[in-house]
Chain A
Amino acid sequence: MSRFQTGLRSAVLALGAIAFLFPFYYMIIGSLQTKQDPSLGGAFPNPSNLTGANYAAINDRINLFSGLLNSGIFTAGVLICTLVFGVLVGYALAVLQWRGRGVTFALALLVQVVPFQLLIIPLYVLITRNYGLSDNYLGMILPFAINSTAVIVFRQYFLQLPKELFEAARIDGASEFKLLWRIALPLVRPALVTAALLTFIGPWNEFLWPFLITKDASMQPLAVSLASYISNVAASTANPFGASLAGAVVLAAPVVILFLVFQRYFISTDLGSSVKG
């Protein structure tokens, strides 16, 4: 009975893993095929049908390097703003006593339930029409600049630090900036990594917003240029699926690699509690 259950559980888990991983395997295989082979045999690597030409083909059409660079600048801008300003608020919310603290914390929670779809039109009007920031990195970064989930993660980690630590340092005459920089930050390094990873995924994968405000192909992040290739240009390429799959591999690889390297920082409880606030 128990052995049967264990076997059943392993089978379900393994089936799940196959269902989740197979499309990624197939993405890589498909991106390496000279001639697209959708048959069952095509799911296995075939040495006579292997090529890197799809990567060259997609690079011809959408310039992978500039796409990656734009995605990188967009993501780095969000990361820097979140790490600098997010840490400051997180610290203020957890450690400092000031008027407006409760309201600020409530705002950080509330922001996470404000649906982005309602903000699309006003943000588009404000950023492209009023501020003239279309086709501009600042315009891309602005709506995502400080990730509120990261703010909550920072707050939670700072809260876990013992109060005596801060009192002792204050008595020794340390300024709040020094306290934050020298004492608190080094102790919450894991939170920095967790929050940085959480934040990274957002802008790197974001499609709708940069799609709305970048019309100039040389300014588009990779997700946007690949999408416009898939929806408009693909049909005119010799192996359209191969080329778009090659682009997909390039877009997916940085996030997947980062996750594999830093996966121990994606602790499920963190994630759950950060969402629940």
Chain B
Amino acid sequence: MGSLDGSPYVVAPKRKRHLFGRNPLGLLFSAPYLVFVLAVFAYPLGFAIYIAFHDYFFTAPGAVVSRPFVGLQNFIDAFTDPDVIRSFGNVGIFLIINVPLTVVFSLVLASGLNRAVHLKAFYRVAYYIPYLTASVAIVAVWLFLFNGSGLVNQILGPLAPNPSWLVNSSLAMPSIALFVTWKQMGFYILLYLAALQNVPNELYEAAATDGAGAIRKFFSVTVPGVRPATVLVLLVSTVTGANLFTEPYLLTNGGGPNGSSTSPVLLMYQKGIEQGHPDEASAIGVVLVILVLIIAWLQNRFAGGRD
């Protein structure tokens, strides 16, 4: 490298061993992002755990108060509340309905779309639009469709549930699960569509030579071929379900009827911000995240295969 000395074409940083690497400018370019990640993710993450283990309450800015360490007391307070237990059960119901429907329908639609000849672009747009639209906007039309005298019940006629969907304590949570399945489906269809491009065509040809029909091909070639995408779909839909807030807040008017559609995040808002117990709310958040991590690990273990 030293032989280049004196020529006008020197790339200066290349020879010196800098403390920050060859292009310390990289660190400068990344500094705003690193500060952002520290301030908005890393620090609050630690702070959330701190709040969960201390007697934390809101004070005026600058006020000095003691916030003693209380061990697991916040967790005990939160999880002896039947509403909290119920909200976790509700997410369970949500996931049992949402996750299988999501995987099945998005894979079927994606593989149909993958082989479609006509209107491919149109279908892609059609499927993706609900995912792009704000929940708040779509909630407005679902309230119209699913209220007591709404179009859905008009079509069902005598089969319409009574009380209607969103005010029926055994149907409120399933209705929310269906809403979210419908809304998020486009995203998963696109994920599967991308994954299907990586399934080699020869496998389909080989299966056809072996006399496999369309259904056999789907289960023996397509399903194993998109397995990494399925793991991702499982993970993302579980995380989305755990994050549920807007739908129970608006669609069922704050988790109604009688708490049958509350979600943990909705309770975190009610307890933490409305009722001023951020410590209990944080404890709920910590437990929720741990549960999601466990579910994600299990999914990866059992659906992920060896790769």
Contacts and interface: CB of A to CB of B under 8 A. Distances in A.
Contact of A20 (B59, B130, B264, B292): B130
B302 interface: no
Contacts of A120: 265, 268-269, 272, 281, 285
A265 interface: no
Given A27-B140, A151-B33, A16 B127 contact: yes
Interface stretch (B17-25, B77-85, B199-207): B17-25
A117 B44 contact: no
Interface residues of B, number: 106
Interface in A1-44: 5, 9-10, 12-13, 16-17, 19-21, 23-24, 26-27, 30, 36, 38-40, 42-43
A116 interface: yes
B116 A129 contact: no
Given A96-B23, A212-B273, A256-B133, A121 B29 contact: no
Nearest to A260: B125
Interface string B236-276: 10010011011001100110000000001100110011000
A129 B151 contact: no
Interface of B: 9, 11, 18-27, 29-30, 32-34, 36-37, 39-41, 43-45, 47-48, 51, 58-59, 61, 108-109, 112-113, 115-116, 118-119, 121-130, 132-145, 147, 149-151, 154-155, 182, 185-187, 190-191, 193-195, 197, 214, 229, 232, 236, 239, 242-243, 245-246, 249-250, 253-254, 264-265, 268-269, 272-273, 278, 281-282, 285-286, 288-289, 292
Contacts of B123: 13, 16-17
B282 A226 contact: no
A47 interface: no
B129 to A, nearest CB: 6
Given A86-B33, A176-B25, A273 B194 contact: yes
Contact of A92 (B25, B124, B187): B25
Interface in A191-223: 201, 204-205, 207-208, 212, 223
Given A9-B116, A272-B190, A117 B265 contact: yes
Interface of A: 5, 9-10, 12-13, 16-17, 19-21, 23-24, 26-27, 30, 36, 38-40, 42-43, 85-86, 88-89, 91-93, 96-101, 104, 107-108, 111, 113-126, 129-130, 132, 142-143, 145-146, 151, 170-171, 176, 201, 204-205, 207-208, 212, 223, 226-227, 230-231, 241, 244-245, 247-249, 251-252, 255-256, 259-260, 263, 266, 268-269, 271-273, 275-276
A88 B140 contact: no
B126 A100 contact: no
Contacts of B116: 9-10, 13
Contact of A121 (B24, B190, B243, B278): B278
A241 B37 contact: no
